[in-house]
Amino acid sequence: MAEKVYDVYGIGNALVDMEYSVEDNFLLTNGVEKGVMTLVDQKRQNRLVQALNHNDVKKQCGGSAANSIIAISQLGGSCFYSCKVASDELGKFYLKDLSREKVDSNLVIGSLPDGITGKCLVLITPDAERTMNTFLGITSEYSAGDIYESAIKRSRYIYIEGYLVANPDGRAAMRRGRELAQKYNVRTSLTFSDPSMTRHFKEGLMEVIGERVDLLFCNEQEALIFTESSDLFEAREKLKNFANSFAITRGRQGAMVYDGHNFADIDPVPVKAVDTNGAGDMFAGAFLYGITHGYNFVDAGRLASLASSRVVANFGPRMCGSETKALLAELQAG
């Protein structure tokens, strides 16, 4: 059996997150659907940037799975992230930011392809809701060929981003990752990522899930849509057909986890939210760190709940490394 070097191998989009604070009126005026991720072309995204017309933008390497992988690394885990960026300025920025967070990847300066690195405009309204308009750029070309078999072989888990299902090549990469994980007895985890993915790409998600995954992450709305259920209790029973275990986040109501035998409610950590962007990503990252470092599902859920409460109390989808690391001591003290 191969030596396990990585706790988690991540598969997902590589997007430079550019975060802005806006009023609800900006969304209405510019025809932006609130609270979801919308794929846009470069022309549309450029128009939105011009309409924003200010420079106080927070920029960092992102993408849903990338945020989770970075959280694991900041907590002390070892990770590999498989993604695609171009050789432009933002692509080089992305690689440097990922390296600074001590995440190994398939990206190499000097070998990055020509093209345009993907960008995600994250628009935060006063109610802390995040609305995303994403131009995928070269990450739309992410494919099965970008999957590193040798790194998956040496990982304990793979973590697959649901957003990839919207693109046929991305879907092929998701399947390839799952197949290699099963080949090498690596546990599989998947996040649905966004309600729009479960609403419009359920068939593709079913393809990726195959017989079932070991661990599924979703929020309550995604669980209801995917299972076509009227309430959470019906949805959680149906999810057992797709995953051996799962975690369902519920916003201010905390979360619900299922370890394959028992359900447990995870209490929320009261906090004044200013930016919900990255809450689910942080929850998944902290949870994966927990279960790869000896935590049971309840304790991993408590760590994840604490971590996500901290990230929504600040602008941006993640914290700095020292803040994230401090969560472990805070959990133990509490």
The pLDDT, as a whole number, for residue 58 is 79
Backbone angles phi, psi at 219, to 5 degrees: -100, 175
Q: How confident is the model at residue 57 (pLDDT cuts 50, 70, 90)?
A: confident
Q: Please state the rounded mean pLDDT for residues 238-254.
A: 96
What three-state secondary structure class fits 257? strand
The pLDDT of 251-269, averaged and rounded, is: 95
pLDDT tens string 99-133:
999 999 999 888 899 999 999 998 989 998 889 89
Q: Hey, where are the domains in the chain?
A: 6-13+64-111+142-333
Percent of the chain with pLDDT over 70: 96
Instruction: Name the strand (E) or helix (H) holding 175.
Output: helix 168-183
Q: How confident is the model at residue 148 (pLDDT cuts 50, 70, 90)?
A: very high
DSSP string across 176-202: HHHHHHHHTT-EEEEE--SHHHHHH-H
195-234: per-residue pLDDT in tens?
999 999 999 999 999 999 999 999 999 999 999 999 999 9
Q: pTM of the predicted model, to two decimals? A: 0.91
Q: Which residues lie below 8 Å from residue 91, measured CB to CB, with a gap of 6+?
A: 85, 112, 117, 138
Cα 283 from Cα 266, distance rounded (Å): 12
Residue at token pair 């973590």: 159
Average pLDDT over residues 125-147: 93
Q: What is the pLDDT of residue 103?
A: 97
Residue 321 has pLDDT above 80, yes or no: no
Rounded to an integer, what distance in angstroms lies between the CA atom of residue 148 and that of residue 176? 10
Superfamily, domain 6-13+64-111+142-333: Ribokinase (3.40.1190.20)
Going by C-alpha positions, the residue among 258, 278, 267, 259 that lies closest to residue 324 is 278
Q: Report the pLDDT value the prediction gives residue 305, as an integer from 0 to 100.
A: 94
Say yes or no to pLDDT of 98 above 80. yes
H/E element, 160: strand 155-161
- What lies within 8 Å, CB to CB, of 214 at 6+ separation is 157, 187, 188, 189, 243, 244, 245
Rounded distance between C-alpha atoms, residue 163 and residue 201, angstroms: 10
Which pLDDT score is estimated for 271? 80
Name, in order, each residue with C-beta under 8 angstroms of 232's C-beta and a sequence gap of 6 or more: 220, 223, 224, 248, 250, 256
